[in-house]
Structure 1
Amino acid sequence: VPEIASRAHVERILPVLRHALADAGCTLADIDAVAVGHRPGLIGALIVVVAAAKALAFALERPVIGVDHVHAHLYAGLLDRDPAAEPPDDLFPALGLVVSGGHTALYRCDTALDVARIGSTIDDAVGEAYDKAAMMLGLPHPGGPRIDRLAQQGNPRAHDFPVSRLDPDSLDFSFSGLKTAVLYTIRGRPARIDGRTTFARDHQDLGEEEKADVAASFQRAAARAVTLKMRRALDTMPDTRAILVGGGVSANSAIRSAIVELGKQRRLEVRLPRMDLCMDNAAMLAGLAHLRFTRGDVDDLSLAASPMSAIT
């Protein structure tokens, strides 16, 4: 709920700042610049954090650096070595992939800073599809990790769920058909009875083995959908040297394995984030901001929050 999120940010922003400084073992005097994720997202919450970051930068007489958090996800896989080191030139150009609850998109990355979107989902993000499939199976939120665990016990070929192909040349994703196929597998096809849409059954009618098979088959289809578009993108980018991946769904075992295998087939280095850097985190924001800071690329106090990503 946007209003609740905004109020929660107001309540927590200063305690979080104090906690972060304590964890890092430093004081405000040690800060060289203030980085803030200012887009995309819920505008009310972003306004709170941007105002706090600008106030801190003004008080400390330090520059403020606004970071697109989707861009930062692409940078997360570059933090596994020396976070202060510049990304090696031999990784670029790279194919970037962000997979999360709100985003599923492909990017051409000519450098760590020069990024352009080349494909995105036309309906649900893959993480949203995971959450909805989990809900259909009666699994609690967040659904992604729970489907991943359940899938380890199932047969990934028990159900041949569809992979959306769209136009042969399209680099866009679609997961609505996959969701519908999972729904019909679990609950049967809907019928109209007395003017109401009803289903023949629900997840409670499935045994644990059947649920595991659905989860495993769903994961296989989701991973195939992601890597299918990645293959097409690589076909259009023969100069690609590496694959950069980020976002919460990059923690999923099936998707990680499929991307690693794709990298082997194409002889490309694959940079996946550490598991603790897959979800939204401040480290990836700071890493990307540090790269900009070292190049003198900073913002001023006119920095504004935006609900939209700047990467187009």
Structure 2
Amino acid sequence: MLILGIESSCDETGIALFDTNKGLLAHELYSQIDVHADYGGVVPELASRDHVRKTIPLIKKVMADANIAKDDIDGIAYTSGPGLVGALMVGACIGRSLAFAWDIPAVPVHHMEGHLLAPMLEDDTPAFPFIALLVSGGHTQLVEVKAIGDYQILGESIDDAAGEAFDKTAKLLGLDYPGGPMLAKLAESGTPGVYKFPRPMTDRPGLDFSFSGLKTAAANVIRSEGIILAGSKSTQNEDAPENVEQIKADIAYAFQEAVVDTIAIKCRRAVEQTGIKTLVIAGGVSANTELRNKLAKLMEKHKGQVYYPRHEFCTDNGAMIAYAGAQRLQKYGDRDLLIKARPRWSIEELPAI
């Protein structure tokens, strides 16, 4: 079964062709970073317009790269949610329209299920059941995965997601958009132990996350060191120390250490609570090197194993949507014309396969 995948939930347009027998045939990703950089974050209307411009040309390119004609395609998978509703509507409308024109089924795909299943695109894949840590700019969740579609949320963020906290703190430090990866890079020059930030919600039972207070703690330290926010740019006042760049690096190190430690503590609790020794990490923040190292050591200590998608499939991409859609299209075909876009959608609502 050959599936065309379309991802357009936020600020990246991802297109892929996945064959259930041959694997991934081709994929393309267009990032809108340059479009949104001047605003310090994603502007929903601009994101939607760029998806309109890029989706069809990328579909044509992927089909040409794989030497695939429209008659070879057996179904279309498109991201239905969660995400920005305007951006979702672009992919949903194009996916449904092509499916109708080509007389093939289409299936709406849950964005986070796509991330959760992204490690299945690798040669070494996890076996069910496993615990999934979904950690991105919009979500931080621990999910018990018994089978595809059989999901139970063990814990999730009650305010800012980890990736969102990274980006907001990076902005306070005056780093360019997207801030999360740049903060991680800056942290490499940081000195351990100079600053100490809290590990939120680790002093009580449970698997929920909260990163808003951690972000506020970082903001207070940033301001106390003479780094003030002026408009959308971070500047130093007249009393700022000469070594302000090293101070920023030290703050970035302490902040990243606090986030990684907090996530690791919750993952340890999830492993101990469920007895499951397989951990899958997916989403944009799963590319963070310190997080990967910390969780690898955790699972080694518990005699378990951790799985990740390759770096190019950590962020939003069409390959994960094509794969997830292929699993569902083999059981659920859909030829109606209903455009399905759900900006809010719990992963627990999905039917099991």
TM-score (norm 2): 0.78
8 Å Cα contact 1:73-1:247 kept in structure 2: yes
Residue 85 of structure 2 is matched in structure 1 by: 43
2:132 is paired with a residue whose SS is strand
8 Å Cα contact 2:104-2:335 kept in structure 1: no
8 Å Cα contact 1:187-1:200 kept in structure 2: no
Q: Which deviations, in whole Å up to 9, do the C-alpha atoms of 1:178-231 show, x marking residues without a partner?
A: 1112112111299xxxxxxxx995996452222211111111101011111111
8 Å Cα contact 2:166-2:183 kept in structure 1: yes
Q: Which deviations, in whole Å up to 9, do the C-alpha atoms of 1:16-50 show, x marking residues without a partner?
A: 21122123332212211101011111112212211
Residues 189 and 216 (structure 1), Cα distance of their counterparts in 2 relative to 1, 3 Å cut: closer
Return the match for 1:161 from 186, 189, 197: 197
Please state how far the C-alpha of 1:170 moved relative to its aligned partner.
1.9
Q: Which amino acid aligns with 1:274?
A: R
Please state how far the C-alpha of 1:303 moved relative to its aligned partner.
5.1
Q: Percent identity?
A: 40
Please state how far the C-alpha of 1:8 moved relative to its aligned partner.
2.4
Select between 181-190 and 16-25 the one with higher mean Cα deviation: 181-190
8 Å Cα contact 1:186-1:201 kept in structure 2: no
Structure 1: 4+ residue segments shifted above 4 A = 199-206
8 Å Cα contact 2:225-2:240 kept in structure 1: no
Return the match for 1:175 from 202, 211, 214: 211
Residue 12 of structure 1 is matched in structure 2 by: 54
Q: Distance between the aligned counterparts of 2:58 and 2:80, measured in 1?
A: 17
Return the match for 1:109 from 145, 153, 166: 145
Asked if 1:73 is matched to 2:144, the reply is no
Residue 53 of structure 1 is matched in structure 2 by: 95
Asked if 1:139 is matched to 2:175, the reply is yes
Return the match for 2:309 from 273, 284, 303: 273
8 Å Cα contact 1:188-1:200 kept in structure 2: no
How many residues align? The count is 296
8 Å Cα contact 1:156-1:219 kept in structure 2: no
> What are structure 2's unaligned runs of at least 5 residues?
1-42, 227-234, 349-353
Residue 251 of structure 1 is matched in structure 2 by: 287
Select between 51-60 and 272-281 the one with higher mean Cα deviation: 51-60
More strand by share: 2
Q: Distance between the aligned counterparts of 2:203 and 2:110, measured in 1?
A: 30
1:7 is paired with a residue whose SS is helix
Q: Distance between the aligned counterparts of 1:56 and 1:203, measured in 2?
A: 60
CA RMSD in angstroms comes to: 2.3
Asked if 1:219 is matched to 2:262, the reply is no
TM-score (norm 1): 0.88
Please state how far the C-alpha of 1:300 moved relative to its aligned partner.
3.4
Q: Distance between the aligned counterparts of 2:225 and 2:216, measured in 1?
A: 10
Please state how far the C-alpha of 1:171 moved relative to its aligned partner.
1.1
